[in-house]
Amino acid sequence: MRKREKMISLLLACTLPASMFLTGCGGSEAEDGKIVIELVHYKPEAVDVFEQLEEEFNKTHDDILLKIDSPNDAMTILKTRFIREDYPDLLGIGGDINYSYFIDAGILADVSDYPGIADINQGYRDILEGLEFVPTEGTYGVPYVANAAGILYNREMFKEHGWEIPTTWEEMITLCDTIRGEGILPFYYGFKDTWTCLAPWNSLAVDLAPADVCQQVNAGKTVFADEYREVAEKIQTLVSYGEDGPFAYGYNDACTAFANGESAMFAIGSYAVPQIKSVNPDMDIDSFVTPGSSDPDGQILNSGVDLQFCVTKACEDEGKKEAAYEVLNFLLADENLQMYLDDQSAVPCKSGNFTLAPNLDGMKEYITEGKIADYQDHYYPSEMAVDAQIQTFLIEQDVDAFLTKFDTDWVRYNRDIIQMVKDYNAQNGNQ
């Protein structure tokens, strides 16, 4: 009997610290009646800016308490919180397929009554609209910043050799030949990390395929075998100007190689600049739009919403929407947005006079003119693993097999969405 008591006390002894701990960390209630707005975003790399913004906001607002959470792996955290029906008030997410799913799941509130939305560049608002599976009444996100993908180049090296920025596909090829002729590697690829295959793919696809190609395929109007053939052939050509066996090297290898001057160009997005600069802080990087088309005016910048803010339904239902808008006003204020841009070298979605990072010089014109189109992979379901399919294609070099598989897989992975589109069209077709 004595032993048993001992055992129980031992058990208690080891659970006790745990339960004491629990009481210690509970309690996220608002003090002194302030409205609490919780913002969860998926950019842990921007945690320092967000902390600054949070502090600044709370200093200037007596009625609202802003809490910004910058978790790692925010998408998993958000999904698990949704399972628990524990919704934050504001989400900071990307304009990708998760956003489409969140709208479809009815998690987001309509923000078309938000006055600030009028200041947002129309191009980015259209990109968000395009991400809805079926046209939905209302607006569900306020685009904040964008990123742009194309070709990064070593400006110093280009100056030294007198190379010109290409404006057409033909010039691009001539440039690659010239660079190679001088004994320098034109491109360095990191295709071991499959997602990097999407960067040249997307930036060619915006020039060569219609922006709404996925919706068109869903509606049964066309097939990828027709729309993507040129993209597939041109990406093959571009890859031939890279290092030998690009499938052995990862994103990190490619960033390091480019930073150390091992290649003249790197087909990737502006998002890679911080990683490159960590290796070579003094490097002068600029970028240009991938010239996929033979028409100099036919090039389009590949740019997508990198960070947007969405108000959740739960926040609206609790009557906190006005407070959430107040937070949005603050975040979108020119000086605060500029602070974010400086820190993350991002592209603003708001129209206005902002200072852009020097590595975006070559793309500035397209941004101000709104000649932009979204990353096509934002419409691809992630489980279809298009990045891996492109990698497979580049290894096996079989255009037809790749395109055929693309079409069959597309139907298989998008079955529910295609059905949804069909139902929608059947309902609205007669009107």
Partner 1 sequence: MKHANDRKRTFLLMTIPVVALFFAFNTLPLIKGVMYSFTNFRGYGTYDWVGLRNYIDLFQDGRVGKSYLFTLKMAVAATIVTNVISLILALGLNSKIKFKSTLRGMYFIPNILGALVVGYIFNYFFTYIIPALFNTTSILASSTWAWVGIVAVCAWQAIAMNTIIYISGLSTVPEDVYEAGSIDGATGWERFKSLTFPLIIPFFSINMVLSGKNFLMVFDQIMALTKGGPAQSTESISFLIYNNGMAGGQFGFQSANAVLFFVIIVAFSVAQLQFTSSKEEQL
Partner 2 sequence: MNDLKVKERYNMPVTILLILGLITIVFPLYMTIVIAFKQPSEMTNSISGILSLPKTWSFSNFAEAMRVTDFWNSLRNSLLITGVTVILSVVLHSMVGYAIGRNKAKNKWYNFAYLYVVSGMFVPFAILMMPLVKQTSQWGIANIFGVIICYVVFYMPMNLMLYSGYLVNIPIALEEAARVDGATTWTTYWKIIFPIMKPMHATVAVITALSVWNDVMTPLVIMSGSGMNTLPLAQMSFQTQFGTNYNLAFASYLLALLPLLIFYIICQKQILNGVVNGAVK
Binding site for partner 1 (CB under 8 A): 75-76, 79, 82-83, 97, 101-102, 104-107, 192-194, 245, 247-250, 253, 381-383, 385, 388-389, 391-392, 395-396, 412-413, 416
The least CB distance from residue 275 to partner 2, in Å, is: 4
What's the rounded Cα separation, in Å, for the pair 265 and 255? 11
Tokens of 126: 């259209």
Residue 239 binding: pick among partner 2, partner 1, none (C-beta 5-8 Å cut-off by kind): none
Residue 7 binding: pick among partner 1, partner 2, none (C-beta 5-8 Å cut-off by kind): partner 2
Positions that interact with partner 2 (CB under 8 A): 3-4, 7, 10-11, 14-15, 17-19, 21-22, 25, 43-45, 47, 69, 71-73, 76-77, 80-81, 83-84, 86, 252-253, 255-257, 260, 262, 269, 271-272, 274-275, 278-281
Please, which residues have CB within 8 angstroms of residue 101's CB and are 6 or more apart in sequence?
none
Nearer to partner 2, 77 or 339 (CB): 77
The least CB distance from residue 30 to partner 1, in Å, is: 26
Tokens of 304: 């997508």
CA distances from 345 to 9, 77, 146, 340 (A): 58, 26, 10, 8
Residue 75 binding: pick among partner 2, partner 1, none (C-beta 5-8 Å cut-off by kind): partner 1
Tokens of 137: 């009444």
The least CB distance from residue 146 to partner 2, in Å, is: 14
Q: List strand residue ranges (DSSP E) for 57-107, in order.
A: 64-69, 90-93
Residue 170 binding: pick among partner 2, partner 1, none (C-beta 5-8 Å cut-off by kind): none
DSSP 349: S
Please, which residues have CB within 8 angstroms of residue 209's CB and are 6 or more apart in sequence?
227, 228, 230, 231, 376
Tokens of 235: 């990406």
Residue 27 binding: pick among partner 2, partner 1, none (C-beta 5-8 Å cut-off by kind): none
Residue 389 binding: pick among partner 1, partner 2, none (C-beta 5-8 Å cut-off by kind): partner 1
AA identity, residue 221? K
What's the rounded Cα separation, in Å, for the pair 361 and 23? 53
What's the rounded Cα separation, in Å, for the pair 23 and 13? 16
Nearer to partner 2, 76 or 222 (CB): 76
Nearer to partner 2, 263 or 293 (CB): 263
What's the rounded Cα separation, in Å, for the pair 402 and 400? 5
The least CB distance from residue 179 to partner 2, in Å, is: 20
User: By the 8 A CB rule, do 125 and 338 touch?
Assistant: no
Residue 391 binding: pick among partner 1, partner 2, none (C-beta 5-8 Å cut-off by kind): partner 1
Nearer to partner 1, 119 or 416 (CB): 416
Nearer to partner 2, 87 or 153 (CB): 87
Nearer to partner 2, 127 or 255 (CB): 255
Nearer to partner 1, 132 or 342 (CB): 132
Please tell me whether residue 289 adopts helix, strand or coil conformation.
Answer: coil
Burial bucket for residue 61 (CB in 10 Å: 0-12, 13-18, 19+) = middle
The least CB distance from residue 148 to partner 2, in Å, is: 13
AA identity, residue 352? G
